[in-house]
Structure 1
């Protein structure tokens, strides 16, 4: 049993002291699931970190199976919490690069030796640990992926592997922070049913933090709603969710779009295979078009190739065959292969990744200024002149130019391979004299309902919802023709997500921005997209009206957790 009494936590922030939790108290019985919801930044994740022992607290007690931990116990108390709990953090894909089964073996080795390592095959306990690891993979439905490398797993599969690693530590309390954020409806159902199975098998307290009302409605025996660090509602999940969702804004209508095609994908193919495993992804003969000013959603089961397709559409990944054509001033440019015109097309695009983040050391205004340096009118011409002076070829310059649109780790690795550092951007794309960032930001900030004051703030000084909208503002400040989004909003609460959804529709309506995105969140796709494309088995199997395609996909998966959707949870 878990008893939490009077937990409070104060942070030192750049703006002074901030109380993130105040007098939090609740009890979770063995074999019970407590759901926790609330707006982004309300303190939910901080609470789980405190219960895990990786964050200190200022007052109160945490009792696990009649052992009480208080702040004055220091590291002794933290070690007790860490040895008796397991935590799955949101958007945390921290896995070893080896095979899935080896990730579990490492955790089992930790339980025996006190540190994670992969024992040799001739270790006296290797066979025993291997069998135990396979059993945990079986519980989370990944037994057939045991020999797959973790990096080749889909987002949903990675989350199941992380859950298996947590189970291998044999916790007394299981803490799950957004456990299904990056999973498709089918994988979500699998993970949720696994959690319900664990409730019966483990008979321990389970806490689930989620922004998805349908998840908590499906899982939770009881619920809490936290707002600004305080419990503002508790009890029956239906009543708590109803109270929480009443703060949601009304939907804005979708705008219209042109019949002119601006992107054409023709017969794209991309295949991935692993030694000793075989084929893990085979996209074949993918053809689709995107109209100017359209919002298009890519949906499908986890591992169906949605992100791979989006990366090919964005020119970040070269297909093995086929091409991606963009309309550029009455010409068609193949963005999947090098040409002198490709940089100009990239200049007119902006991309947000699953792992999007803003540097904590720069203000929002400084982020926008850097983006403007790369994508303003005349930036490419100046870079070409400077590249010639530095002995950088046109093809290498093309690669350098695409890197800021890639995930940070990928960008750093590519620069290193070329023998370059981020300093090259200062040389090729110098600061713009007398740059009025506020002038460029004003129309986008207005459409996103952001205060101009945010330009002077760093990410730590703004809320979670403002962070997401600020990142969108950075992406849009250069007035791109096309915005591509890879599941960037999966961990937003429904109230903030509605605000962001309305903002995207306003951006699309006001500026005519073409938007292509990947999402597992069917309510979001139905609300924001004109059209949806359904991928499965390496092919496009359906495309058309977003609501109809989403409903068909949900029906095909046979999932039961979705229920009435968000609108059906709010009392009239």
Structure 2
């Protein structure tokens, strides 16, 4: 059969009447091909992906999603269209070609729609979907049992899947102890366990450091090629789309801007970016002093873990200080001690309030509490209240007593600070978090921190889910807020381009120690050199 496996034809999806989330999208994906959907946050990528998946409440307003498949007339097993005329692996009947109007079948609750739905696997961004308290292999085994895989072959199949994603050495480790990249690969193995025809990857490396992202990309490319899967990747990172897909579309404000070779589409996206002016400030008055700081943990499976090892440096008042390093370097543990969330095992952290130095090792409102009330953090795993509108999420963070109209004005000011324009603010201010994109939620979470007007702002992976265009807007937002509000910023990130653009100084952390500190260009070039040597050694 020469017909494409997936056909998206004039597809429009609408959640608010008269405001289509995506509009008249059309493209085709061949059997065994890889296809990318590229666009900035809010462009409609996730809506399109969920409609293709068959997710509830994503039914097309107009247009169709067609799957050309081979169907068993006896047991409704689904295979690629090229298998039509061959024997069904489940019941030995002859597979028949069929063109499926997917959403029509979904509405009628037909058996073939459920069979097709079960052969589409999806890996969502940020939601790892993995049971942290279970060993990695057990997570895979649970999936295999759910799809009625032969009991005697489950252990062998689970080990093979973990080997395919380069996690065989982690099979018996608890899933919660994996790094971000390892969790992503484990979830990929769980998706492969379902034996999909279509694998949808939603931002597969958006929250990973560049080195880890390369590993995840390599694993995905090799597995998809070896197993002959059809891959659909949605991303706001042009590099991810270029590396993982052969052709792609570029979405902008819910409409298809262009379609073609993935490298060309990625370049079109990059062409829209403006150059960032590097403007670094020299600050000399210490605000935070970290002196020979240590943090150790004990786990029953790994024993004593030294997350932070004799770290010392200062953060100066008014500067934007960055801490870079791969996942598991100890960055988050250090920050948690700095803001009083975790106990300091050994050493000292002092924060200057007025003319006095507050010891963050001493608990209580009259001790470290004097400093923490001037410090705000946006965690990597941030959360907005799903049952509140965007406006209520923002004004709910304001602790001072003031008229409601003043709170609303502060909410608008905070959203402008993260580079939403007035039209965008009017459009989203009364929406709920689940009805906007992940990137938009991330920027609103930053705005929720800024609305409190803290003196010290800690941002843990502030661009983890932001597209390159939004990343530039965040750079401008942070610098503008620093200037207007006289704030000091401490930023943790693996996004090295972002750190070069935004930071005055940087430190490189690896295996719990500070390897280098100083000019961001020098530190990050050293970081890249170290990781390049590791990559050469590993191969």
TM-score, L = length of structure 1: 0.79
What does the per-residue CA deviation read over 1:227-251, in whole Å, with 9 as the maximum and x for residues that have no partner? 2333211112232122223333442
| Unpaired segments ≥5 residues, structure 1 | 114-123, 377-430, 562-572
Is the 8 Å Cα contact of residues 11 and 65 (structure 2) preserved in structure 1?
no
The reply on whether 1:73 has 2:113 as its aligned counterpart is no
Is the 8 Å Cα contact of residues 52 and 65 (structure 2) preserved in structure 1?
no
Shift of 1:464: 5.6
Q: Per the alignment, in what secondary structure is the counterpart of residue 315 of structure 1?
A: coil
Distance in 2 (alpha carbons) for counterparts of 1:187 and 1:225: 25
The aligned counterpart of 1:120 is: none
Distance in 2 (alpha carbons) for counterparts of 1:320 and 1:69: 61
Please give the residue correspondences for 1:213-362 in structure 2 after superposition, counting only pairs within 5 Å. Answer: 213-278=238-303, 282-339=307-364, 340-362=366-388
Is the 8 Å Cα contact of residues 360 and 458 (structure 1) preserved in structure 2?
no
Q: Per the alignment, in what secondary structure is the counterpart of residue 283 of structure 2?
A: coil
Aligned positions, number: 492
Is the 8 Å Cα contact of residues 252 and 502 (structure 1) preserved in structure 2?
no
The aligned counterpart of 2:406 is: 436
Shift of 1:253: 4.2
Q: Per the alignment, in what secondary structure is the counterpart of residue 500 of structure 2?
A: helix
The aligned counterpart of 1:61 is: 65
The aligned counterpart of 1:514 is: 488
Q: Per the alignment, in what secondary structure is the counterpart of residue 366 of structure 1?
A: helix
Distance in 2 (alpha carbons) for counterparts of 1:191 and 1:463: 23
The aligned counterpart of 2:74 is: none
Distance in 1 (alpha carbons) for counterparts of 2:206 and 2:390: 26
Is the 8 Å Cα contact of residues 21 and 43 (structure 1) preserved in structure 2?
yes
Shift of 1:503: 1.0
**Residue among 124, 137, 140 paired with 1:104:** 140
Shift of 1:481: 0.8
What does the per-residue CA deviation read over 1:415-472, in whole Å, with 9 as the maximum and x for residues that have no partner? xxxxxxxxxxxxxxxx667783146456645544445765953445766655433322
Distance in 2 (alpha carbons) for counterparts of 1:279 and 1:146: 21
What does the per-residue CA deviation read over 1:82-127, in whole Å, with 9 as the maximum and x for residues that have no partner? 21111101111221131111111111111117xxxxxxxxxx936x
The aligned counterpart of 1:503 is: 477
Distance in 2 (alpha carbons) for counterparts of 1:542 and 1:137: 35
| Unpaired segments ≥5 residues, structure 2 | 70-79, 82-97
1:362–1:54 Cα change, 3 Å: closer
Q: Per the alignment, in what secondary structure is the counterpart of residue 354 of structure 1?
A: coil
Is the 8 Å Cα contact of residues 372 and 477 (structure 1) preserved in structure 2?
yes
Q: Per the alignment, in what secondary structure is the counterpart of residue 34 of structure 1?
A: strand
- Aligned-CA RMSD value: 2.7
What does the per-residue CA deviation read over 1:47-103, in whole Å, with 9 as the maximum and x for residues that have no partner? 222232324432313315234332221233642332111110111122113111111
What does the per-residue CA deviation read over 1:465-501, in whole Å, with 9 as the maximum and x for residues that have no partner? 5543332222112221111111132222211221122
What does the per-residue CA deviation read over 1:164-184, in whole Å, with 9 as the maximum and x for residues that have no partner? 111111111111111112222
Distance in 2 (alpha carbons) for counterparts of 1:18 and 1:47: 15
The aligned counterpart of 1:409 is: none
1:51–1:278 Cα change, 3 Å: farther
**Residue among 153, 173, 183 paired with 2:198:** 173
TM-score, L = length of structure 2: 0.84
Distance in 2 (alpha carbons) for counterparts of 1:26 and 1:163: 25
The aligned counterpart of 2:20 is: 19
Distance in 2 (alpha carbons) for counterparts of 1:205 and 1:336: 54
The reply on whether 1:152 has 2:177 as its aligned counterpart is yes
The aligned counterpart of 1:50 is: 51
**Residue among 226, 234, 257 paired with 1:209:** 234
Distance in 2 (alpha carbons) for counterparts of 1:367 and 1:250: 33
1:466–1:31 Cα change, 3 Å: closer
Range that drifts further, 346-355 or 144-153: 144-153
The aligned counterpart of 1:390 is: none
The aligned counterpart of 1:380 is: none
